[in-house]
Chains A and B, each alone.
Chain A
Amino acid sequence: MINYIIRRLFIAMFTLVGITVVTFCITRLAPGDPAMAMTAGVQDPKASAAAYEQLRERWGLDKPIYMQYFSWVKGMAVLDFGESMSSDSRPVIDKIRPRLWPTMSLALLAIGLSLSLSIPIGIWSAAKQNSYFDTITSTVLYALYSVPSYVMAVPLILLLGVKWDILPFQGMMSDNYDTLSTMDQLIDIVKHYAMITFCFSYGAWAYYARFVRQNMLEVVRQDYIRTARAKGVQEFNIILKHAFRNTLIPIVTLLGLILPEIIGGSVILEVMFNWPGIGRLFFDSMMQRDYTTIMAISTSTAVLVLVGTLISDLSYVLVDPRVSYE
């Protein structure tokens, strides 16, 4: 088992290096660079040419690409993400840090919501296959699934935010947050999370519910379930104690793959709800060709993907006694 983990980590390192090299080169191959993005609007061409050269030198863009990559790797070795290649020049870590919590909390909440809704629905749909419940929930969930999140967001905001005025749709807290009592502050935060969490998560409900339902149906057809029924075990126990445990296997592997979503965020929703998350930072950095920020976010996402798949594979061992990595 330890050998397996060491081997996987080794492979992961190589994969990570490959990912960073590709990302590094692709971003620099795209037309334009951060110096051009910053000097493009300038009226006087002589001034902008001088500024352009100065910025390129400052950010090391005039050096050959392999040298740039090595300086970046050197920085990464001490976890120095560098300075943002945009007009505020702040350290990248300062730009990313305040946005981690909004994105992560939103993603975790959304995933928690999706799973706690879809697993029971999936189980019940499988248990009562083709019943009213099964058909109606499937239809409703697929209808939701077919609506993109940004299309759903606008009428929601219009209805709940403007017309009926029951939920806020801007940012993480109200303008008068500081003046509220602790209880009210909590309620304020919950209200702000409400709409965006819904928009972020509902697409996954159909997917997870269907996933659970499918696996349950397969498990329920197994011989040992038939045996348990024949032995007189209660239906409730059969479903939850015997069948559900075996559907956990695919769900656990699914969880590992959800990990990268946590830091990815959703650009469109973050823009619409003015949510200070990483998705928007990533998008803006791409537009400005802010190479250092792009690399920092891409690398972190890549690390999470690799860690996620590793956890996923390892938990497979824990959950399924048939599997071992010896």
Chain B
Amino acid sequence: MKNVYKILLVITLATVLFVNGCTKSESDKGVDGNIDTPVVYNPDNDPLVNPDSIFKKRPKGAISEETIFINLKSSPNTLCPLFSSTHYDSIVLDQIFESAFTIDKKMTWIYSENAIVSFNESEDHTAYIVKLRKGVTWHDGTPVTAHDMVFSYDVVLDERVPIVSFRDEVKNFTTCVAIDDYTVKYTSSGKIATTKVSLQSIPIIPKHLYEKEREAFPDLKTGTYYNTLARHPVGNGPYKIVEWIENDKIVLERYENFVGEKPYFKRVVYKIIQDLTVALLTFEKGELDVFEAIKPKQFAKETNSESFKNVGYKACGKEWTYDYIGWNQDGSNPFFNDKRVRYAMTHALNIDLVFDQVYYNLGTRCYGTYHPDSWMFNNNIKLLEHDLEKSKKLLDEALWLIDENDGWRYKMIDGHKVKFDFEIMIPQGSATAPQIAAIFQKTLKKLGVELKTRTFEWATFIEKMLKHEYMAQISAWGTGSDPDGGWNIWRTEQYKEGRNTGGYANARVDELFFQGRHEFSKLKRAEIYKEIQKILYDDQPYLWLRNRVNLSVVNKRISGISFSPRGIMTFYPSQRNWWIDTISH
């Protein structure tokens, strides 16, 4: 073939590819389909977000033979409640096992009427009497009794069983005995206010099944019998397990002998799809009904296409989780143990820009540790705003002065000239941290501060945090159902033992946490935690970035969704109240 023609062919092919690749695509159009609309996303202007139909409450007793398909981003590790440690374990376990004590959508402690008839707490908080509901059975037909609850308590405290998450909480209860077949009595010291909450942490497992090979395998984990039990659990909940195909799906079927309120769907199929892009495409094909926790970018830009609009809606609900930049102020670096420097950093970040470009306006401004919707929120906090002049002033005051020769800031420490040059640690897989760091880097350069980033995979990131080997890091915390959970993040001694990886130390905060743990009056507790929130915000051990929102996509046929501070799934009754509104369709 003549050389000229060959070259022409190649150039034509290249041009075709180039033109195709470089034109604007669907996702660059604004939500109204117009390519010239400015592309800053705001969920308030998105017609697909939070339509009324998805929240419509399920009529009492409504039930069907339908199947619902839900996405799980990762396979559960185990379906034995004793060893469950991840969010994905809980999502499936919540359906198979009925917890006696749980939280509702307002994060209030409740007991489940499907399992418990009454709950009595003595005046001095030392005794708790629980009366079980009669007629509740395990999926193999055996009745659930007080002996199962006592057995479960014993097993949790048995040192031979490798329980990772909640043993210490359960130790708050000094004894647990069965008064009769349907009554259990717990006793405790009566001094700790969060004891009642710890009841949520004791899973109930079937005694008649778990005691079978206990002598041979006291850890309740090894051996074929226990392995099978962990993969094919026998629970007391509204769904029983049909099959678990490794890395593919978990299929549940409604337990028709469930004495409590039966859920709407006859079958629940949890599809395990790790890749979020592929999961979204599967959703658009109509093969998934609910997909919780999609990325902000997907929510803003990849869910406006025709194929999406045909099948789904978007749900955006407030979550009690915040993103933050944590400073290491234990003295290992010369920068962040100075409060003026931390304030300068907060004033330096253009938070509105971050919200527009990184978060796509999905989330709200953060006022510190507690969420504005919570009972312990202090609404007298004034946010520190973006103000480069203030930053400059504070850095000058802290003696980080600009060197005219190269524009960077230096400070004389012990006779040496130290440059303000720090490194921020980012966990691999974070959807937003690298972009935030990039925006921050640009602004800090104007101030004469150099910011470098380093990404670590998760296990290494955790190890470095626990060893305090960092200067700054970006991650997130969730507020648990009780603010006492902050004890091991903020108290001084938790630098050695707990999650206070940055070495924050404030004696008043230490004292307040102690008071909060022992105060039984809700009003007084609220005052205590409000004060904690104010002190923490004033000290700025963190640069609080945003309060997150839960982002999910829901198929048009689904209703009954409610939001909770933990998302749409892990509270009571969440998934069980989802239904298909056949009346209006």
Contact = CB atoms under 8 A, between A and B. Distances in A.
B246 interface: yes
Contacts of B284: 162
A55 B285 CA distance: 43
B162 A51 contact: yes
Interface in B220-278: 221-222, 227, 230-231, 246-249, 269, 271-275, 277-278
A324 interface: no
B488 interface: yes
B8 interface: no
Most chain B CB inside 10 Å of its own CB: which residue of A41, A43, A58: A43
Given A88-B78, A169-B281, A289-B459, A163 B307 contact: yes
A32 B462 contact: yes
Contact of A51 (B163, B169, B464, B485): B163
A55 B221 CA distance: 12
Contact of B227 (A89, A131, A273): A89
B175 interface: no
B285 A87 contact: no
B420 interface: no
A37 B222 CA distance: 20
B119 interface: no
Given A45-B499, A98-B246, A274-B278, A40 B459 contact: yes
Given A40-B459, A274-B272, A280-B247, A47 B230 contact: no
Contact of B162 (A55, A94, A130, A274): A55
A9 interface: no
Contact of A32 (B219, B249, B282, B463): B463
Contact of B281 (A40, A44, A139, A158): A158
Contacts of A99: 246
A36 B463 contact: yes
Interface in A42-64: 42-51, 54-55, 58
Given A50-B167, A88-B230, A37 B459 contact: yes
Contact of A44 (B77, B86, B488): B488
Given A43-B485, A158-B281, A36 B462 contact: yes
Interface string A143-180: 10000000000100110011101000111100100000
Interface in B484-512: 485, 488, 494, 497-499
A53 to B, nearest CB: 10
B1 A274 contact: no
B179 to A, nearest CB: 29
Interface string A272-288: 11101000100000011
A170 B269 CA distance: 15
Contacts, number: 135
A271 interface: yes
A30 B222 CA distance: 27
A287 B480 CA distance: 26
B138 interface: no
Given A89-B221, A161-B285, A169-B278, A51 B78 contact: no
A276 B166 contact: no
Contacts of B494: 45
A31 interface: yes
Which bracket fits the contact residues of B?
A: 35 or more
A135 interface: yes
B227 A31 contact: no
A131 B83 contact: no
Nearest to A143: B13
Nearest to A43: B485
Contacts of B273: 170, 274
A248 to B, nearest CB: 30
A49 B77 CA distance: 21
Given A36-B462, A44-B169, A87 B85 contact: yes
Given A31-B460, A40-B459, A175-B269, A86 B77 contact: yes
Nearest to B248: A171
Most chain A CB inside 10 Å of its own CB: which residue of B166, B463, B485: B463
Contacts of B140: none
Interface residues of A, number: 58
A229 interface: no
A39 B269 CA distance: 29
Interface string A171-214: 11001000000000000000000000000000000000000000
Most chain B CB inside 10 Å of its own CB: which residue of A41, A86, A98: A41
B77 A87 contact: yes
Contacts of B480: 43
A252 interface: no
A90 interface: yes
Nearest to A46: B168
B278 A157 contact: yes
A58 B460 CA distance: 22
Contacts of A158: 281
A132 interface: yes
A131 B307 CA distance: 44
A151 to B, nearest CB: 12
Given A32-B459, A175-B269, A274 B247 contact: yes
B10 interface: yes
Contacts of A139: 9-10, 13
Contacts of B274: 271, 274
A314 interface: no
Most chain B CB inside 10 Å of its own CB: which residue of A38, A172, A288: A38
B164 A38 contact: yes
Interface string A111-153: 0000000000000000000111001000100010000000000
B497 A58 contact: no
Contact of A39 (B13, B164, B285): B164
A83 interface: yes
A112 B248 CA distance: 27
A170 B165 contact: no
Interface of B: 1, 6, 9-10, 13, 77-78, 83, 85-86, 159, 162-169, 219, 221-222, 227, 230-231, 246-249, 269, 271-275, 277-278, 281-282, 284-285, 287, 307, 457-460, 462-464, 480, 485, 488, 494, 497-499
27 contacts: A30-B460, A37-B459, A40-B462, A42-B165, A44-B169, A44-B488, A45-B497, A46-B168, A47-B166, A47-B167, A55-B162, A83-B222, A86-B77, A87-B83, A89-B222, A90-B227, A99-B246, A158-B281, A161-B285, A163-B307, A170-B273, A170-B278, A170-B287, A171-B248, A175-B249, A276-B248, A289-B459
Given A30-B460, A47-B165, A130-B1, 17 more contacts: A31-B459, A32-B459, A37-B459, A42-B164, A45-B494, A46-B168, A89-B221, A98-B246, A132-B1, A135-B1, A139-B13, A157-B278, A169-B281, A169-B282, A272-B275, A276-B248, A288-B459
**The 8 A-B residue pairs with the shortest CB-CB distance in the complex, in nearest-first order:** A32-B459, A45-B498, A87-B77, A47-B168, A51-B164, A40-B462, A276-B247, A31-B460
